[in-house]
Amino acid sequence: MEEKKYLLFVYGTLKKGFWNHHFLQNEKFVGKAETKEKYAMYVTRIPFVVKNEKVSTIKGKVYEVSKETLKEIDRLEGHPEWYKRELVPVVVSVNGKKKEVKAYVYFSLDPRGVIKEDGIF
């Protein structure tokens, strides 16, 4: 029986080139993406996305991850006490074509820092 996979939208330190990407090194990269809805991104040394403020779409990447990887990232993100993981619509670009999918996004429960109007970290 094939293991169930989950779509995960990452916008910060889990992206390639950042210090937490090693959690995704064995997972499948699906494509560049952005949230369908507008949210607010705050940045200190790391980004925080807030669900209830509508500033811009958030730009990131989507990965297909295993249940175990999702659990590891839940621990990293402090889900559900520090960040809360929620399933939301995102638009992913695969081979030049845009497709709407539902992916997990980690939302901050404690926003701080400077707001990023463009939604890019």
Among all residues, which ones are annotated catalytic? 77
What span, in angstroms and rounded, lies between the C-alpha atoms of 58 and 35?
5
SS (H, E, C) 19-83: CCHHHHCCCEEEEEEEECCCEEEEECCCEEEECCCCCECCEEEEEEEEHHHHHHHHHHHCCCCCE
